[in-house]
Structure 1
């Protein structure tokens, strides 16, 4: 649903009864509520288990889809975006926890999970774009509501046992090396890079047809679908930390080239490297945080990534018009490389005695 709204809401803001500025707030709202609410979602998930949590999340997703198909204006859509953010947080956490329930094969399962997840946006973006041009931007959300209701059948097969969590003091803690890498990955790859691709490549993109934009956005998820399992297999063979550092350094080189003007070749490289990196963090967390702290540790990584991904577009919008792209992407590349190296030097358990986000 998120990816479709990023495509449709700015292009059809008037038909949803919002201004462009309000559309931007709506697009950011689900990420902001995740940043604030991941800790609460993680505690609810740990107490209630996968079956109840995912059943509620899927039901909420169906309600949100119906709402986007029928409701208009900012104040009607904002609660839907907030509810969807919490729903996504629960589903995202469940997939990571289940994939890393056993260390043996965790990276491979995480890669396969990421590929299956990416199939949704990869299919929904071009289908949604075609339906939007033929029947209006709300039609695809009716279809998504039906798919969400079908998913309720699948949630019945999930385990219902709660997940044990340690007693932890609440409050802010200093981010560790994995938090820092997650933040910078979100900042650079989900923020600066995506916005920079649109900003720097706007002159060479095809005309404003929504189908062309939808296909362009779908390519990122197609990369995840095809390459995330390969990233998981590489992690099983060589160890997730080593693969993380290698891919992050290669990504840093591609970011520098992207800023220097080798736009499309480096952009393709970044998409490939990002897809390979996606399955790595969850098994690293599982290796370093075995036992009851794993749920909160995974939630912490997701929170920091969301903070970075939320800050990235704001930073890109402020810097790209006034600062040289090669400087922007060189600095961000250096920070990402340093953060990756810090994840393995020295090797420590960063989540022992950590507190919830």
Structure 2
């Protein structure tokens, strides 16, 4: 009998292996842009264009999945992602760089939606979604550990070639995926509409943590940059190890309880960050936020399983997360110019609290039963 988690795991492994080149590009390109023929003024564009592409690609892929098979598109996306990794080491033309970054953005959007869809096929949806997120996060972590070592010994071209070769198992895992049934038509609007109360929480979570905090953590800990780096590494480890646990808890205790409790505790951490008055309390606040954000982020796709059109719900959820992260990054850069961020994070905490209360009003679970765990 086939393991019910197998398809979700294989789809996540395809995405994890395919992400090596993109993950290494972020620390590599800002320093070694000249070595690969990129003008310094284009570095920011090349590192962000794939994220911008995803905003449109998430919705486009919904319609692509309706026209072609999930397995077929996942295999194609995996191939294109690996080709883009090889290309990073050998192209010296800025037009080709832009082209392959767009290719990567489209491929990532495809593989991400596919991995979530396969994970949601499992009867244990929470565990499957959490495990899928944790497995994917291992890919960038590996690339960030081995990429610099390879580069120091072999140079840029060889590094991306080796990362491309190491990505090839992704094709095997994509090829092993079973075909998945899909709806014949897409009900509702084809465009991204007004976010639901749930998607607002997803947007705010990405806006605050993946956007603002990742940018301004160095501001808060400017006297201890090593600690800032350790906290960012801790965030990645939380996403790897706590995501499956979050999914398991969601299956046992209920998705809404775990998701909303994690958002509430994350909000508590934001207020703590605003009121922190020492390095120790800052570290505690960041640890609190990153811990419960990993639970929150891992479970967000689970909500799509309850939608009338699961495929579109997955795409919309991913799009609002991408918009939140992008908008938060832009605002985070501006906040670095301010002398004090206490009021800003008090306002952010108040907005998070209001959004959570609003979402609670939409729940079918009576508020007095929400905190009953049995």
Shorter-normalised TM range: 0.7 to 0.9
Q: Give the counterpart of 1:126 among 145, 153, 168.
A: 145
* TM-aligned CA deviation for residue 113 of structure 1: 1.0
- Residues 1:285 and 2:304 are matched in the alignment: yes
SS of the residue corresponding to residue 70 of structure 1 reads coil
1:63-97 superposed Cα distances (whole Å, 9 cap, x missing partner): 10011111235322111111101100111101111
> Aligned partners of 1:219 and 1:135: how far apart in 2?
29
Partner of 2:323: 307
Pair 1:268–1:12, CA change in 2 (3 A): farther
- Residues 1:255 and 2:270 are matched in the alignment: yes
> Aligned partners of 2:32 and 2:254: how far apart in 1?
45
- Residues 1:327 and 2:343 are matched in the alignment: yes
1:88-131 superposed Cα distances (whole Å, 9 cap, x missing partner): 011110111111125x3100111111111111122211211222
> Aligned partners of 1:2 and 1:129: how far apart in 2?
13
Partner of 1:224: 239
Pair 1:100–1:55, CA change in 2 (3 A): same
Unaligned runs of 5+ in 1: 349-357
- Residues 1:86 and 2:106 are matched in the alignment: yes
SS of the residue corresponding to residue 344 of structure 1 reads helix
SS of the residue corresponding to residue 324 of structure 1 reads coil
Partner of 1:182: 202
Q: Give the counterpart of 2:361 among 345, 351, 355.
A: 345
8 Å Cα contact 1:67-1:80 kept in structure 2 = yes
* TM-aligned CA deviation for residue 196 of structure 1: 0.9
Unaligned runs of 5+ in 2: 1-20, 365-374
Pair 1:248–1:216, CA change in 2 (3 A): closer
* TM-aligned CA deviation for residue 217 of structure 1: 4.8
Q: How many residues align?
A: 339
8 Å Cα contact 1:59-1:148 kept in structure 2 = no
SS of the residue corresponding to residue 181 of structure 1 reads helix
Pair 1:48–1:327, CA change in 2 (3 A): same
* 1:266-281 → structure 2 map (5 Å cutoff): 266-281=285-300
8 Å Cα contact 1:255-1:266 kept in structure 2 = yes
Pair 1:304–1:128, CA change in 2 (3 A): same
Q: Give the counterpart of 1:99 among 106, 119, 122.
A: 119
Pair 1:244–1:82, CA change in 2 (3 A): same
* TM-aligned CA deviation for residue 153 of structure 1: 2.0
Partner of 2:258: 243
